[in-house]
Homo-oligomer: A and B are copies of this chain.
């Protein structure tokens, strides 16, 4: 299918929901993709099965603090340069682009890249949600090297990075991103079509579109959160889902530290009960606790939405007094394997809790 201008608001909303608090502001993502499609035309969205096993597939993403991207944007030339520099360095001509994660910006930056370059966009990603660090990707879990990778900024400065591990690349790229103004474009995890088929979370661009459409339809019908839950239950991955809290934001600690948005968000119930919930986040929500009880935990998705409109609220959009519903949603099975949990399970974020699937909580 072609991605049309009309699809973009739905993709942005659905992706922001699956971004679980991170992955960027959907308004920014939509604006970036809209201007690219208006100038260069609609890109083709293709399934992983259509990729030749020896195709060269390039990831493209924004990396940095989402709080900064709101003001800084992306110029497009930085995207072109990242892809061009990595092709030039490796000598492998790009056959397609693919997202590294799902999020309000990072699902739309690849749309922008595909529109600008004329390359097809693969309907898949490496998380089925968003995560804050470069090594936290199914591509890495399945042995794809994240380097050589290229970082570019809006002044068209660029870096080609080669490291022995994805975590080392993360540490280096993070300090560079801070020095380059806290948000950069990143092309990494250059893969073959075969590697995409073996390691990606498939169909997630289409799922984001469907989730976004369901929310919009639910608004017309009068219960967008119920429509959202129905849509999730119809997906192959996100089918275990529930509202784990209905309340308002009573306290918020949010810092931009080490290139991340980190903090805590406290919620209290609206029904007059003593119930409360605390969310811990690093760009994305990591754990939701009610007192000592874990209600949902990474890599499962913890998503905060406006309680009336089901509009996803990113961590940088959280505000005191906001009335919200918090949803717990099952992660795709490829994210719950022992090997995957080592890379982005609770311990990878310094949490002492063990992973428990949302359906068991």
Residues of chain A whose beta carbon lies under 8 Å from any beta carbon of chain B: 85, 89, 155-164, 168, 171-172, 175-176, 178-180
Determine if B179 and A175 form an interchain contact, defined as CB atoms under 8 angstroms apart.
yes
Bound complex: CA of A178 vs CA of B178, how far in Å? 13
Q: How many copies does the complex hold?
A: 2
Residues A162 and B158 in contact, CB atoms below 8 Å apart: yes
| Alpha-carbon separation in the docked complex, A163 to B89 (Å) | 16
A178 touches which one: B89, B158, B175 (CB < 8 A)?
B175
Q: How distant is A85 from chain B, measured CB to nearest CB, in Å? A: 8
In the bound complex, residues from chain B placing their C-beta under 8 Å from that of A85 are 162
The chain B residue sitting closest to A179, CB to CB, is B175
The 3 closest A-B pairs by CB, nearest first: A160-B160, A157-B163, A158-B162
| Besides A157-B164, A158-B163, A175-B176, 20 other A-B contacts (C-beta < 8 A) | A89-B89, A89-B160, A156-B164, A157-B161, A157-B162, A157-B163, A157-B172, A158-B161, A158-B162, A159-B159, A159-B160, A159-B161, A159-B172, A160-B160, A171-B179, A172-B179, A172-B180, A175-B175, A175-B179, A176-B176
User: Can you list 25 contacts pairing A with B, beta carbon distance less than 8 Å?
Assistant: A85-B162, A89-B89, A89-B160, A155-B164, A156-B164, A157-B161, A157-B162, A157-B163, A157-B164, A157-B172, A158-B161, A158-B162, A158-B163, A159-B159, A159-B160, A159-B161, A159-B162, A160-B161, A171-B179, A172-B176, A175-B175, A175-B176, A175-B178, A175-B179, A176-B176
Q: Which B residue's beta carbon lies closest to that of A150?
A: B160
> Within the assembled complex, what's the spacing in Å between the Cα atoms of A179 and B167?
13
Give the nearest-CB partner of A85 in chain B.
B162
